[in-house]
Amino acid sequence: MTEFATRAVHAGQEPDATTGAVIPPIHVTSTYVQDGVGAMRNGYEYSRGGNPTRDALQTLLADLDGGVAAYSFASGLAAEDALLRAYLEPGARVVMGNDVYGGTHRLVNRLHVPWGVELVVVDMSDVDRVRAALEGAPAKTVLWVETPTNPLMKIADIALLSEVGHAAGALVVVDNTFASPYLQQPLSLGADAVSYSTTKYLGGHSDVVGGAVVLRDEAFAEQVGFLQFGAGAIASPFDAFLTTRGIKTLPVRMERHSSNAQAVAEALVSAPGVERVYYPGLSDHPGHEVAAKQMRGFGGMLSVALTGGPEAAKRFVESTEVFTLAESLGGVESLIGYPSEMTHASVKGTELAVPENVVRLSVGIEDQGDLVADVLQALSR
Ligand SMILES: *Cc1c(COP(=O)(O)O)cnc(C)c1O
């Protein structure tokens, strides 16, 4: 089993040893019988500490990213919190992009900064600024890289930033939610850890909230595992099952998301009322070359700025028929949103604010012609 699409279906998914069930069962149990005091079967004692359904998902995730271990959580933010708290201490520093996921900024700014962590926000596509932000870095420093970013689809060079981060002694983390492990492999590009909201492309069907981290270092992985057990924000067996089920079709879905998004982006470029299209698959996108180097495809997310300002943007998102007006992304169904008042409302007025004429599209796997026709008819309104 060497190729990604084969591993996505089989890694961690051995048929059940007792019944031969091809699909491993969902182990809905809180506790496990002991054959004598402390004599556990296969190490299972209590489901916060270990559950076979969650373990199957974790084995799969570690395999897909080429990590030594993965841990799955109740949400993407729970995963980020465990990863960061396993590493940080008062006096530590976090350097992150000025367009990271708003919840990531809020997590560090509102929960870790009061604990004594310093937060520095920079433009991650400007390496000199990243270097400056890392100057005099304390022993515990995290360089938090998200690429492509949300919603302006900026691209950061993972290999280059890993070098810059490591030169300053920092732990380099990549939030790989938008690309998924199918399109982008941060550990092989030099990063130390990968973080996911599995709510998005990994789950892929908008029916489960979850998160995961994948680690390359055994000792650090143990610390993150202790946070999962000790703080307890675990993925439930049913959520782990749904996520595993979603991942089996990840390669097929990502190919289709990418080709559909490319077609929608190209149709929007020449449409009336469009000021700018943000999609890394367009050859004039500022990050196109880096994206082409580090990604297998350009993904299903794009944004568009309209010449008609906030009014036109709001009318547009309320006029689509195939694209559903909703937050979140990465599911098989196409979604459309108005970031400045929806996903990014919490960062309004801060350096993370999104222009008010920008609309974000999560392009699904429906018929390409239907999707293109839908955005064009909505624009014409
Ligand atoms: C959604 C998202 C998160 C947070 O994940 P939740 O599952 O909502 O907690 C983090 N990073 C990115 C890029 C996201 O899109």
Radius of gyration of the chain (CA): 21
pTM: 0.97
Atom of ligand 1 nearest to the CA of 150: 13
pLDDT of residue 189: 98
Q: Tell me the backbone φ, ψ of residue 210, rounded to 5 degrees.
A: -165, 170
pLDDT of residue 56: 98
Strand partners, 335: 324, 362
211 C-alpha vs ligand 1 centroid, how far in Å?
A: 8
197 C-alpha vs ligand 1 centroid, how far in Å?
A: 4
Q: Answer positive or negative: Cα dihedral of 104, 339, 258, 211.
A: positive
pLDDT tens digits along 360-379: 999 999 999 999 999 999 99
Strand partners, 278: 303
315 labelled catalytic: no
**Catalytic residue, candidates 32, 87, 101, 278:** 101
SS3 state at 222: helix
Answer yes or no: is the C-beta of 355 below 6 A from any ligand 1 atom. no
Q: How many Å separate Cα 127 from the centre of its chain? A: 22
200 labelled catalytic: yes
Structure tokens given for 106: 């809020």
Nearest to 265 by CA among 253, 283, 279: 279
Neighbour order of strands in the sheet with 324-325: 274-278, 301-306, 358-362, 335-337, 324-325
pLDDT of residue 357: 96
Q: Please give the Cα distance from 151 to 356 (Å, whole number).
A: 12
Structure tokens given for 170: 């920092």
pLDDT of residue 162: 98
350 C-alpha vs ligand 1 centroid, how far in Å?
A: 19
CB 190 within 8 Å of CB 160: no
CB 168 within 8 Å of CB 134: yes
Strand partners, 301: 362
Answer yes or no: is the C-beta of 200 below 6 A from any ligand 1 atom. yes
Structure tokens given for 114: 């009061």
Q: Please give the Cα distance from 78 to 233 (Å, whole number).
A: 6
Answer yes or no: is the C-beta of 357 below 6 A from any ligand 1 atom. no
pLDDT less than 70: residues of the chain: 1
Domains of the chain from N-terminus onward: 4-247 (3.40.640.10), 251-380 (3.90.1150.10)
Angle in degrees, CA 308, 314, 316, rounded to 5: 75
